[in-house]
Amino acid sequence: MNSWIARFALVPAAMVAFGVFVGCLLWTLVLSFTNSKLLPSYRWVGLDQYEKLFSSSRWAVSVENIVVFGIWYIGLCLLFGYILAVLVDQRVRGEALLRTIYLSPHAMSLIVTGLVWAWFLNPQLGLQGFLRGLGWESFSFAWLADPNLAIYAVVIAAVWRGTGLVMILMLAGLRGVDQEMLKNLQVDGVPKWRVYAQVVPPIVAPMILTSVVLLAAGVINSYDLIVAMTRGGPGISTEVPGKFVMEHFFARADVGVATAGATVMLAALVVIAAPLLYLRSRISQRREASGG
Amino acid sequence: MADVDNPAFDVSLVKGDRQWRPLVEGPAGRPPKRLTIGRVALYVILIAAAIFFLIPAYVMIMTSIKPMDEIRAGGMLSLPLSPTIEPWIIAWSSTCSGLVCDGLAPGFFNSIKITVLGVFFAVLAGAVTGYAMSFWKFRGSDAVFAILIFGAFVPYQILIYPLARIYSSIGLYGSLAGLVVVHTMFGLPITTLMFRNFFRTVPPELFKAARVDGAGFIRIFLQIILPMSAPIVIVAVIWTATGIWNDYIMGLVFGGRDSKPMTTILNNIILGEFGERRYNVEMAATFITAMVPLLIYLFSGRWFIRGVTAGSVKG
């Protein structure tokens, strides 16, 4: 009787897992091989939609942008997040306050983030205008108006929001590092910067991998931030796959191409995340085996 | 009794780490008394970083209380000469989003409804699912869990179109109820994960003893498990509340004319500004939208951090 109720209690979760997640995913997959336009159609066209997708210059720009954005965003978040975590971990006064400040952007939505940074970096009235007004006439910072640089302005906004998260994860990792060992290294005369540049990173490797997976998932899902900050512009210079797919679904009524694009996004995520998660589980298995 | 400072709480953070220092407890030891050059440099960097993280919020607030002629004159970072709350009033009640000129207020109340109900159902469903998976193990529950976590990770774009088709065929499209359902479904993986990890810290003897006493599924849940779950309920509520409030894409796709959440209306307001843009109204609207999760964040402090670490370390 009771195990019956327990089984029943899992029905909603199972429905979400199989009905929504697996079901919708497979449905999208199937649609990507059909000639669906505004409405789903089930006429099989093989890889035609993928060919159409990959021959689209807009898609090519989107992919290039997401690669550039992803590399800079993940790299800078890891670098700043780690440095801040190390600095905060030096027994500083007001640690709780500093942590609260660093993580605060994470409480804001990506829409808010994008709108605020678009205003802050507004070429006329934003930072550039402000510093010129102070008399620094030659100061130039109009990335948002420059098709070649606009994506880097988005990187700044995204790093502003993402660094705190990495800092917290890294700090949690640092708090697990054996303090005795660090002290012994210092007694042996190893400079502190070398300890944090060479000894500590391998110890907190699981946290680094976790951060990379989280950040990478965020990169591939990028949509809100672009919509709010640049709307894909100037021109199509900051288009990203997530936005490309949404527009082909709902504005351009080209479900075939959109589902093909979504499938490629999913494949990219799996290809990136799977090895990292595998590596992470290997590391923690090894550590457990050695009784660490 | 499992309490939130139990190291085992953040299961994935602490596995096998005997030297673990709880994140919320802070550093190992007091700050050194002597202030060397290195220490001064350390504080300078930390404060500079703090300024970088605070400046956009500062600019947002300052812009929102300046009249437009002050904004046009430049001086983005300077304090307002003649502060005004008019932009806030316009943003709240009369600025246009598309053809509707009711300001942000309708979106605010929609977001409140969606968030309260979405949090309630997502956390309840996560608690029940986590409980059933942890204490009433049977075949298949691990598979369900793995798929849930996978679902939390995949891009929305891979699920959203079929979901929209299902929604329109059962008449949920464009309704508040539809948004609550979608947030419940997409909140479920992480709340389940949180409860499942939390229940690992509960001694199994407790459960076994209750079983021997003849208590059933529902009674054990209500009388034993739920009362001790307060810490994880708080973490899950905070985590889902900020997540649902900050959602944009679900509101965009599934929100109808009268059920759009605040983020969607905010973006439409700013998209719809033609000609002379009123940056003060825009920033007032942006700040009002950011305020709810920011207040949750400031008042919940360490609970929010718990959520970030527990919710981030997926699987």
Dump pLDDT digits (tens) for B83-120.
999 999 999 998 888 778 888 999 999 999 999 999 99
* Span A107-122, average pLDDT: 94
Closest CA to B132 of B118, B151, B119, B148: B148
- Chain B, 206 to 245: residues with Cβ < 8 Å from chain A are 216-218, 242, 245
What 3 state SS string does B44-85 have?
A: HHHHHHHHHHHHHHHHHHHHHCCCHHHHHCCCCCCCCCCCCC
> Is A165 within 8 Å of B54 when comparing Cβ atoms?
no
Best of B12, B53, B142, B168 to mutate (most A CBs within 10 Å, chain A): B53
List chain B residues with pLDDT less than 50: 1-22, 24-25, 314-315
Residues B304, B305, B309, B310: what is their CA dihedral angle, to the nearest 10 degrees? Answer: -40
Q: What is the DSSP letter of A107?
A: G
The residue among A193 and A133 whose pLDDT is bigger is A193
> Tokens 């907190």 identify what position?
A204
> Is B248 within 8 Å of A102 when comparing Cβ atoms?
no
* Span A61-72, average pLDDT: 96
Q: Is B173 on the interface with A (CB under 8 A)?
A: no
Longest Cα–Cα distance in chain A: 80
pLDDT value at residue B4: 33
Comparing A199-203, A288-292, B241-245, the range with the smallest average pLDDT is A288-292
Q: Is B291 on the interface with A (CB under 8 A)?
A: no
Best of A10, A30, A95 to mutate (most B CBs within 10 Å, chain B): A10
Per this entry, what is the length of chain A? 292
pLDDT value at residue B273: 76
Taking CA atoms, A272 is separated from A15, A215, A265, A267, in Å, by 28, 11, 11, 9
Nearest Cα residue in chain A from B192: A13
Taking CA atoms, A182 is separated from A79, A191, B25, B63, B268, in Å, by 21, 11, 20, 47, 53
pLDDT value at residue A257: 95
* Span A58-72, average pLDDT: 96
pLDDT value at residue B135: 86
> Is B253 within 8 Å of A250 when comparing Cβ atoms?
yes
pLDDT value at residue B26: 54
User: Which of A9, A91, A103 faces B132 most closely, judged by CB atoms?
Assistant: A9
pLDDT value at residue B182: 96
Q: At how many degrees (to 10) do helices B105-135 and B230-246 cross?
A: 140
Q: Is B188 on the interface with A (CB under 8 A)?
A: yes
Cβ neighbours of B141 in A, within 8 Å: 10
pLDDT value at residue B3: 31
> Is A25 within 8 Å of B20 when comparing Cβ atoms?
no
Spatial distance between the Cα atoms of A220 and A67, rounded to a whole number of angstroms: 9
Cross-strand bridge partners of residue A229: none
Q: Is B29 on the interface with A (CB under 8 A)?
A: yes
Nearest Cα residue in chain A from B78: A130
pLDDT value at residue B263: 94
Handedness of CA B7, B11, B14, B18 (dihedral sign): positive
- Chain A, 42 to 71: residues with Cβ < 8 Å from chain B are none
Asked if residues B149 and B193 have their Cβ atoms less than 8 Å apart, the reply is yes
The residue among A131 and B178 whose pLDDT is bigger is B178
- Cis amide linkage into residue A234, ω under 30° from 0: yes
Whole-number average pLDDT of chain A = 91
> Tokens 């997926």 identify what position?
B314
Q: Give residues with Cβ within 8 angstroms of A94, minimum separation 6.
A: none
pLDDT value at residue B29: 66
pTM assigned to the model: 0.90
What is the interface pTM, i.e. ipTM, of the complex? 0.90
> Is B56 within 8 Å of A120 when comparing Cβ atoms?
yes
pLDDT value at residue B14: 33
- Chain B, 47 to 86: residues with Cβ < 8 Å from chain A are 49-50, 52-57, 59-60, 63, 71-72, 74-77
pLDDT value at residue B210: 87
Residue A291: which pLDDT band, with cuts at 50, 70 and 90?
Answer: low
Structure tokens at A158: 């995204």
What domains are there in chain A, each with its CATH number? 56-289 (1.10.3720.10)
Nearest Cα residue in chain B from A11: B129
Asked if residues A74 and A212 have their Cβ atoms less than 8 Å apart, the reply is yes
Nearest Cα residue in chain A from B128: A9
> Is A119 within 8 Å of B279 when comparing Cβ atoms?
yes
Cβ neighbours of A16 in B, within 8 Å: 148, 151, 185, 188
Spatial distance between the Cα atoms of A99 and B235, rounded to a whole number of angstroms: 18
> Is A172 within 8 Å of B13 when comparing Cβ atoms?
yes
What does the domain layout of chain B look like in residue ranges?
105-274+282-312
The per-residue pLDDT for range A214-252, each reduced to its tens digit, is 899 899 989 999 999 999 989 899 999 999 999 999 999
Alpha carbon A41 to chain centroid, angstroms: 33
Q: Is B4 on the interface with A (CB under 8 A)?
A: no
Cβ neighbours of B69 in A, within 8 Å: none
Coil, strand, or helix at residue B156? coil
Closest CA to A97 of B53, B293, B291, B242: B53
Best of A109, A180, A214, A226 to mutate (most B CBs within 10 Å, chain B): A109
Q: Is A251 on the interface with B (CB under 8 A)?
A: no
User: Which of A1, A23, A104 faces B53 most closely, judged by CB atoms?
Assistant: A104
Best of B108, B161, B250 to mutate (most A CBs within 10 Å, chain A): B161
User: Which of A1, A17, A129 faces B151 most closely, judged by CB atoms?
Assistant: A17
- What CATH number is given for B105-274+282-312 in this structure? 1.10.3720.10
The per-residue pLDDT for range B183-219, each reduced to its tens digit, is 999 999 999 999 998 898 888 888 888 888 888 888 8
The per-residue pLDDT for range A262-277, each reduced to its tens digit, is 999 999 999 999 999 8
Nearest Cα residue in chain B from A274: B150
